[in-house]
Chains A and B, each alone.
Chain A
Amino acid sequence: MTAFRQAGLILLIAVGLAGVTAAVHPKRPAFRAPPTDPNEVNLAQVQHWARTVLWVDARPDAEFASGHIPEAVSLNFENWPEQFPKFLDQYSPDRRVVVYCSATSCQLSREIAEKLRTSGITNAYFLEGGWEAWKHAQP
């Protein structure tokens, strides 16, 4: 049997397996739209929290350097080992952590907030619309 015929059969079997996964797996992804996350917050919600909020900027360092929400702490996957201790210096359990990235299309804030929650920071949320939404809301 030729390599490409074998590859075709492997693809057929994989498509079958994928179909089974999509149909019965308890953690299958939602196909119509990304799932809404209870940890997503919008600016109006965050404004109610006022000064208890600790902003976390999940964008790359260069973007953070070119502009960020005042008093935000930079925390991204690339520099997690160096930046996480600095974040902990600013954090206290009575503060709510709100992570943001560049815009709605960016998923990084969701990832960082989830990483924080698994690290024991249970009150970590991420901002809908990110940095773009915050900038547009400024007078």
Chain B
Amino acid sequence: MSTVNRTVAARPVVRISRYALRFLMAALFLFAAVAKLLDPAAFAQQIANYQLTPWPVTAGLAVLLPALELCVGICLLLGRWESGALVWTAILLTIFSGALVAAIARGLSIDCGCFGRSVENTGTIWPLIRNLTLLVVTGFLWFSRDRQ
């Protein structure tokens, strides 16, 4: 299995795509983290709009999620602890997608809050599609990574 992965990862097209997609993911996570860290109180309010968690948990998530995004973004940018960063990428995107599905299912007309207050009026459908696309990208980065 690892031999197959090394062979696939060694192809120039795959390597170039990997670099591009890794930097794209890093940029997205870093932008999301910085946007939320500018105003954690406002981000807490955006999480509260989903009506999924009691307030103290919401406030905790408002400081923990941007910190995780920042760490993941830095790891992906530098190519250090990449496997661990991809584990968190998958976990975070799954959690965010689940929250969006819950909001859509309950007919909540809310702003995604994915990038704090920097990008508003994004609704819930398009962020969900974006997250699912990024999950596919995460899968590609995971299975094409160099495990040597």
Are B60's CB and A17's CB within 8 A? no
**Most-contacted residue by chain A among B43, B46, B60, B81 (CB, 10 A):** B81
A110 to B70, CA, bound (A): 28
B20, CB-defined interface residue at 8 Å: no
Minimum CB–CB distance from B66 to chain A (whole Å) comes to 7
Smallest CB-CB separation from A35: which chain B residue? Answer: B41
Grouping DSSP codes into helix (H, G, I), strand (E, B) and loop, the B interface class, with mixed when no group exceeds half, is: helix
Count of chain B residues with Cβ under 8 Å from any Cβ of A? 43
Which of A48-56, A59-67, A88-96 is the interface stretch?
A: A59-67
Are A108's CB and B49's CB within 8 A? yes
CB-CB < 8 A to B56: which residues of A?
31-32
CB < 8 Å neighbour of A21 from B46, B58, B67, B85: B67
B108, CB-defined interface residue at 8 Å: yes
CB-CB < 8 A to A63: which residues of B?
107
Minimum CB–CB distance from B73 to chain A (whole Å) comes to 11
Are B64's CB and A14's CB within 8 A? yes
A69, CB-defined interface residue at 8 Å: no
Are A14's CB and B67's CB within 8 A? yes
With A3-B86, A34-B48, A77-B123: A10-B109 Cβ-Cβ less than 8 Å: no
Minimum CB–CB distance from A107 to chain B (whole Å) comes to 4
With A34-B55, A107-B48: A3-B107 Cβ-Cβ less than 8 Å: no
CB-CB < 8 A to A3: which residues of B?
83-84, 86-87
Count of chain A residues with Cβ under 8 Å from any Cβ of B? 46
Grouping DSSP codes into helix (H, G, I), strand (E, B) and loop, the A interface class, with mixed when no group exceeds half, is: helix
CB-CB < 8 A to A8: which residues of B?
84
CB < 8 Å neighbour of B71 from A14, A35, A107: A14
Mark contacts of A25-44 with chain B using CB atoms, 8 A cut-off: 1 yes-contact digit, 0 otherwise. 10111111111000000000
With A28-B40, A29-B63: A59-B70 Cβ-Cβ less than 8 Å: no
A61 to B28, CA, bound (A): 32
The contact sample of 8 A-B pairs, CB cut-off 8 A, is A6-B85, A10-B88, A13-B67, A19-B63, A27-B42, A34-B55, A77-B121, A106-B51
Listed from nearest, the 5 A-B pairs whose CB atoms lie closest are A6-B84, A3-B83, A29-B44, A17-B67, A7-B84
